[in-house]
């Protein structure tokens, strides 16, 4: 499911896919069920602004099984996204689009990470060259999703579930291209990797 925020021509440039919970905002084992529970991780809006100001297009891809579990409505989820967008915009950043999976793990869909469906949907919509794409996540399934989709680089951040994810990935012999403290550090690494 795509929450289309802007109508833009197809683009052929650097794309950064971001997970939401645990990367942009503080995650919760009880899920983020309304706008009041949404809280930015420090410096995450500034990190997205840094990417935007350096010419990167940012797309959020996120599993949101709360929809499939009937815990929240799509309208409530869109309200949470709007709050996120407002905070990022106020920091000087921009999100090109948001793609989310509303299904539960039992649905066996192709869009729930670690399956590559959300990234591939973004690729199809915007004509993305995945050789010029990055994925930043805090979980093993984010990094696996990046690998399954064919993203050039997959970055793990230690916020959210990052520390547990690192152990899970190493057991599967999946090595992230970079492990950073948070999204801001990941953004700096992405920008420097392109400039060099």
DSSP assignment of 84-119, as one string? HHHHHHHTT----EEEEE---GGG--SSSTTSSHHH
- DSSP H or E stretch at residue 3: strand 2-4
Residue 2 has pLDDT above 60, yes or no: no
194/145: higher pLDDT: 145
**Do 122 and 16 meet the contact criterion of CB atoms below 8 Å apart?**
no
**Computed from CA positions of residues 111, 133, 80, 6, in that sequence, does the dihedral angle turn out positive or negative?**
negative
SS3 content of the chain, % helix, strand, coil (to 5): 40, 20, 40
pLDDT at 4: 45
DSSP-assigned beta bridge partners for residue 136: 18, 155
Give catalytic status of residue 21 as yes or no: yes
Q: How far is the C-alpha of 127 from the C-alpha of 120, rounded, in Å?
A: 10
Please state, in angstroms and as integers, the Cα–Cα distance from residue 173 to each residue in 90, 125, 167, following that order.
40, 32, 10
H helix count then E strand count, the chain: 6, 7
Query: Domains (ranges, CATH) in the chain?
Result: 2-195 (3.40.50.1000)
Give catalytic status of residue 142 as yes or no: no
pLDDT tier at 1 (50, 70, 90 boundaries)? low
Q: How far is the C-alpha of 98 from the C-alpha of 119, rounded, in Å?
A: 10
Span 18-32, pLDDT tens digits: 999 999 999 998 999
User: Which one is catalytic: 21, 27, 142, 182?
Assistant: 21
């Amino acid at each position: 499911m795509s929450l289309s925020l802007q109508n833009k021509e197809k683009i052929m440039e650097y794309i950064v896919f971001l997970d939401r919970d645990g990367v942009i905002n503080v995650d919760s084992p009880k899920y983020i069920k309304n706008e009041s529970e949404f809280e930015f991780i420090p410096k995450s809006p500034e990190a997205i602004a840094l990417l935007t100001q350096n010419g990167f297009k940012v797309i959020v891809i996120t599993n949101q099984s709360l929809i499939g579990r009937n815990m929240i409505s799509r309208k409530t989820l869109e309200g949470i996204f709007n709050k996120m967008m407002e905070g990022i915009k106020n920091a000087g950043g921009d999100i090109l689009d948001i793609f989310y999976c509303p299904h539960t793990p039992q649905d066996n869909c192709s869009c729930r990470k670690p399956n590559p469906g959300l990234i591939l949907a973004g690729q199809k919509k915007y004509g993305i060259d995945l050789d010029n794409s990055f994925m930043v996540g805090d979980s093993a399934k984010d990094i696996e999703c990046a690998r399954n989709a064919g993203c050039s680089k997959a970055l793990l951040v230690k916020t959210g579930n990052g520390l547990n994810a690192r152990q899970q990935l190493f057991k599967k012999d999946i090595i992230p291209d970079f492990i950073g403290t948070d999204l801001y550090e990941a953004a700096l690494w992405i920008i420097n990797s392109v400039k060099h």
